[in-house]
Structure 1
Amino acid sequence: MTLHRRSLLAAPALLGAAALTHGAAAADPFKVGFVYVSPIGDAGWTFQHELGRRAVEAALGDAVKTSYVENVPEGADAERVIRRLAQDGNQLIFATSFGYMNQTERVAKAFPKVKFEHATGYKRAVNLATYSGRYYEPRYLTGIIAGRLSKSGVIGYVAAFPIPEVIQGINAVMLGARSVNPNATIKVVFTSSWYDPGRERAAADTLVAQGADYLTQHTDSTAVVQAAEEKGVWCSGYDSDMLKYAPKTHTTAVEMHWDDYYIDRVKQAIAGTWTSGDVWGGMASGMVRLSRFNPNLPAPLLGEVAAKTEEIKSGKLVVFSGPIKDQSGAVKVPAGKALTDPEILSMNWFAEGVQGKV
């Protein structure tokens, strides 16, 4: 299971969403709650989860009633909100931030009849499951794009926290870039926040000033791609399609799709077949993918990315397969070997070519 997510200092705002209707109305619809760490907006991490919630309503109609709370900081506020959702009769609760992990675990113990799911965490119980995506797979592809398009060979990476999930992505971009440009490097700036447009913008400006002519991110706002557009440098977004915020320079984005997962898990909970477990979906499952491409990208590059996409989906291309060296030049993954899932999930080192400290 991969690690994640999120902190914001805004006050929580409780909002509701009525279920769409179809068929005969149920006397007691199945209640599902969602907890979001940032504003929903129209792009980013929370927006993609919100699309998943809406998909549940569209698919199940009167059989469900969903609600959500946005802008919930990690910490005491998160536990209070999750507990309130359980007290309000929600039978399944999705907590969509890594920083909600301990709080979700505590509330799950207090409400053994309620089912809980925590995005990107690793703590599980009989009534607590975990789920996430293999974001590093499409990130490798954005690395290929960056390696081909960058003239300086310097890729700027705005990242939130130095945790394994973030480190995986940085290394995957590096490996993708060096597969087409052996001299490519990545400069990293950490913002210490999942969602802080001001810090993200400042980090992007700093990286461009340091010579980066391709920007990417592991943060949630559109500030990085907007900075790239203003600076005239290529970029790739994260969480969702951000092309409209940088129509000239946004190449594509690593995009999450939670719709099918949420619908399936709610159906299982209603049917009484839900069980705890861990799901880590990759490109083959459709949980993660690349968003639409900038129409100005050269056809040969699009063909190359399409071919590598199919190799990842089929298993022919394994992102973290050797030989891979770390920053010091030491071999971390020998030729003919590949990192196991536990090794990927505990990654705490940067690949050769990444400039920055874990």
Structure 2
Amino acid sequence: MPLVGGRALAQEGPLKVGFIYIGTINDNGWNYAHNQGRLYLEEQLGDAVETTYVENVPEGPDCERVLRELAQSGHNLILATSFGYGDYVIKVAQQFPDVKFEHATGYQRSENVATYNARFHEGRAVCGTIAGHLSQTGKAGYIGSFPIPEVVMGINAFALAARKINPDFTLTPVFISTWNDPAREADAARAMADQGIDVITQHTDGPAALQVAEERGLVGGFGQGADMSAFAPNAHLTAIIDNWGPHYVDAAQAVIDGTWESGDRWPGLKEGEVVIGPYNEKIPAEVVEAAEAVKNGQIDGSFNIFTGPINDHTGTERVAAGVTLTDQELLTMDWYVEGVIPPA
């Protein structure tokens, strides 16, 4: 149910779980996927939980107000689902030490603040493999929100995978400084198409770039956060689907049981938190087979896209042959691999 503000005393009964979203639950991407996780939580735990969600909460002072209202109105577990909420989560958590907070894609923790994420870059490696096989121009575009490590990691994973197929493959990222602005996303996609780019992917929340790919008759693109094939049935090649539900069930149950502890959680394809959607029927069988090999290799541990040798975009070796980047190195990634054309 939507948030009803006002102070209320904590009460016996269902665990009250609050979610804040940067966009709308109908964005068909990031926020939609988190809300599907909320619905899964209700389905699995039934009367043991009562959930609240607040949409369109910007990454700024308004986030602090919403977090505080949720805590004041008896919510004992609050999920903040966008990167830029981090400072406000920490601040409000200090004022409500008995409330548990979890911050998606964040890095700041305290006794009552945990972080959780998903290895989206594993899905990007699958998508990059498909792009490397299918692109006719050898040029792809990547519409990003902000150049934070999470996004840079995805850009690099996509480029590395594509260049394993086509060593001359290039990837051009464009940052639009927002997670969800359909007009900006569409404009960026059109500009890419005008430059001869025939595969477009994105780390933004909606299907606008895919719709442009459909309109322009490009080779295609990839859904972000959820299956977006309904918006671009020809251009949608596959999707990285975020499956947050099991984590939300685990977190809520831990609070109910009194076993919740602060920490960090970063699962991926192996754990089923990152899921590769259905492949478009137009993709040749051998390309699907190659994509599945990359997916399954990451699940069984036999393949890691960030195992060297890896050069950066200047040609300087960053990762020696046989060496695999650590999680900490991935989480602080601020450089681009060979084949990426950095924004000016």
Give the TM-score of the pair, scaled to structure 2: 0.96
Q: 1:297 offset after TM fit, Å?
A: 1.3
Query: What residue in structure 2 maps to residue 190 of structure 1?
Result: 175
Q: 1:336 offset after TM fit, Å?
A: 1.1
For the 8 Å contact 1:101–1:123, the answer to whether it is kept is: yes
Percent of paired sites with the same residue: 48
In structure 2, how many angstroms separate the alpha carbons of the residues matched to 1:240 and 1:31?
26
Q: For 1:1-358, what aligned pairs fall within 5 Å after superposition? A: 15-16=2-3, 28-41=13-26, 43-233=28-218, 234-357=220-343
In structure 2, how many angstroms separate the alpha carbons of the residues matched to 1:164 and 1:294?
29
Supply the AA of the counterpart residue of 2:41.
Answer: V
Q: 1:16 offset after TM fit, Å?
A: 5.0
In structure 2, how many angstroms separate the alpha carbons of the residues matched to 1:308 and 1:173?
12
Supply the AA of the counterpart residue of 2:244.
Answer: W
For the 8 Å contact 1:16–1:66, the answer to whether it is kept is: no
Worse-matched range after superposition: 27-36 or 104-113: 27-36
Q: 1:289 offset after TM fit, Å?
A: 1.9
* Matched position secondary structure for 1:236: strand
CA RMSD of aligned residues (A): 1.4
For the 8 Å contact 1:116–1:127, the answer to whether it is kept is: yes
Supply the AA of the counterpart residue of 1:320.
Answer: F
Query: What residue in structure 2 maps to residue 4 of structure 1?
Result: none
Q: Which runs of 5+ in 1 are unaligned?
A: 1-13, 18-25
Q: Which runs of 4+ in 1 moved over 3 A?
A: none
Equivalenced residues, count: 337
Supply the AA of the counterpart residue of 2:24.
Answer: P
Q: 1:139 offset after TM fit, Å?
A: 0.2
In structure 2, how many angstroms separate the alpha carbons of the residues matched to 1:143 and 1:91?
41
C-alpha deviations, 1:150-196, integer Å up to 9, x for none? 00000011111111111000000000100111110001111111100
In structure 1, how many angstroms separate the alpha carbons of the residues matched to 2:238 and 2:181?
22
Q: 1:357 offset after TM fit, Å?
A: 3.4
Query: What residue in structure 2 maps to residue 21 of structure 1?
Result: none
Q: Which runs of 5+ in 2 are unaligned?
A: 5-10
In structure 2, how many angstroms separate the alpha carbons of the residues matched to 1:42 and 1:337?
39
In structure 1, how many angstroms separate the alpha carbons of the residues matched to 2:255 and 2:289?
42
Supply the AA of the counterpart residue of 1:208.
Answer: A
* Matched position secondary structure for 1:99: helix
* Matched position secondary structure for 1:183: coil
Query: What residue in structure 1 maps to residue 7 of structure 2?
Result: none
For the 8 Å contact 2:125–2:294, the answer to whether it is kept is: no
